[in-house]
């Protein structure tokens, strides 16, 4: 699967919301979105925008969600299809599934400053789930799963640096910053997911198929 390798702060400017793709810069208020404002990047970014169509609004909501969680189109579509098979609200199920990704959980626990960094920790085999190494960022955690790190992991200084920037974790998670251990207490509820995503627009976008 391909991945975006360009300037990540342009993505926040394009969507007009802070995606926290540069963790420390965003926390310190020095991101490109703060410095340059929500003007889209490029030479045409200052043009007077036309009133967006319904399709355009739905498309932007979908693109924002993909960039927020760092997911490509094919995989994102599978998450939508998975959510559609559930009996609950499709939008809620979609966000809950995205939150359950291992890279996101490592980020939400405060063990990484960005999701990209968390994905790197997972992909390089530094993360353990219930004592077993899991190197798949899209692995979906379950209640009572325990997240730890490989003994003497060389990325420990980066992890501890990230924990110092963390103000707290969600009520569905439990973190021990001294022991670098986290636990999934339960699945999150929609109201407990802090994100700029309008999931209903995403559901409407894919229902057009």
Comparing 192 with 16, the larger pLDDT belongs to 192
26 lies in some domain:
yes
Is the same domain home to 83 and 18?
A: yes
Burial 119-130 (b: 16+ CB within 10 A, else e): bbbbeeebbbbe
Q: Are residues 150 and 200 in the same domain?
A: no
Query: Is the same domain home to 93 and 121?
Result: no
The two structure tokens encoding residue 208: 């057009």
- Asked if residue 38 lies in contact with residue 178, where contact means CB atoms within 8 angstroms, the answer is no
Same domain for 39 and 81, yes or no, is yes
Q: Are residues 23 and 92 in the same domain?
A: yes
CB 70 within 8 A of CB 115: yes
Residues 113-134: tens digit of each pLDDT: 999 999 999 999 999 999 999 9
Q: Do 13 and 88 reside in the same domain of the chain?
A: yes
Q: Which domain holds residue 109?
A: 101-187
Higher pLDDT, 46 or 164: 164
For the entire predicted model, the pTM comes to 0.80
* 169 and 114 co-located in one domain: yes
Q: Are residues 73 and 124 in the same domain?
A: no
Residues 79 and 35 in one domain: yes
**pLDDT digit string, tens, across residues 194-205:** 989 999 999 999
Structural domain contains residue 19:
yes
Answer whether residue 171 is part of any domain.
yes
Backbone angles phi, psi at 193, to 5 degrees: -105, 105
List of residues 6+ apart from 167 with CB closer than 8 A: none
Please state, in angstroms and rounded to a whole number, the distance separating the CA atoms of residues 208 and 201: 11
Residue 2 within any structural domain of the chain: no
110 & 168 share domain: yes
Give residue 1's pLDDT: 40
> H helices within 70-209, ranges in order?
73-84, 90-99, 102-108, 115-123, 156-164, 199-206
Domain count, the chain: 2
pLDDT in tens, 100-114: 999 999 999 999 999
pLDDT at 43 over 80: no
Is residue 1 one of the residues assigned to a domain? no
pLDDT > 60? residue 32: no
pLDDT, position 52: 86
What's the CATH number where 183 sits?
3.10.290.10
Domain shared by 15 and 87, yes or no: yes
Closest residue by Cα to residue 105 from 134, 78, 82, 76: 134
């Amino acid at each position: 699967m391909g991945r975006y390798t360009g300037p990540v702060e342009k993505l926040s400017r394009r969507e007009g919301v802070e995606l926290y793709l540069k963790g420390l810069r965003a926390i310190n208020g020095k991101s490109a979105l703060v410095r340059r404002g929500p003007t889209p990047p490029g030479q045409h970014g200052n043009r007077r925008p036309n009133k967006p169509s319904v399709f355009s609004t739905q498309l932007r909501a979908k693109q924002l969600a993909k960039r927020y969680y760092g997911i490509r189109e094919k995989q994102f579509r599978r998450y939508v299809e998975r959510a559609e098979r559930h009996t609950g609200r499709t939008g809620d199920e979609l966000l809950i599934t995205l939150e359950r990704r291992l890279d996101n959980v490592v980020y939400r626990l405060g063990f990484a400053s960005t999701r990209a960094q968390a994905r790197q920790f997972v992909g390089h085999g530094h993360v353990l789930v219930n004592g077993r190494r899991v190197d798949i960022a899209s692995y979906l955690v379950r209640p009572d799963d325990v997240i730890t790190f490989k003994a003497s992991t060389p990325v420990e200084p980066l992890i501890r640096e990230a924990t110092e920037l963390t103000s707290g974790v969600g009520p569905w998670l439990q973190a021990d910053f001294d022991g670098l251990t986290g636990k999934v207490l339960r699945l999150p509820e929609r109201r407990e997911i802090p994100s700029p995503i309008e999931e209903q627009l995403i559901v409407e976008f894919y229902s057009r198929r």
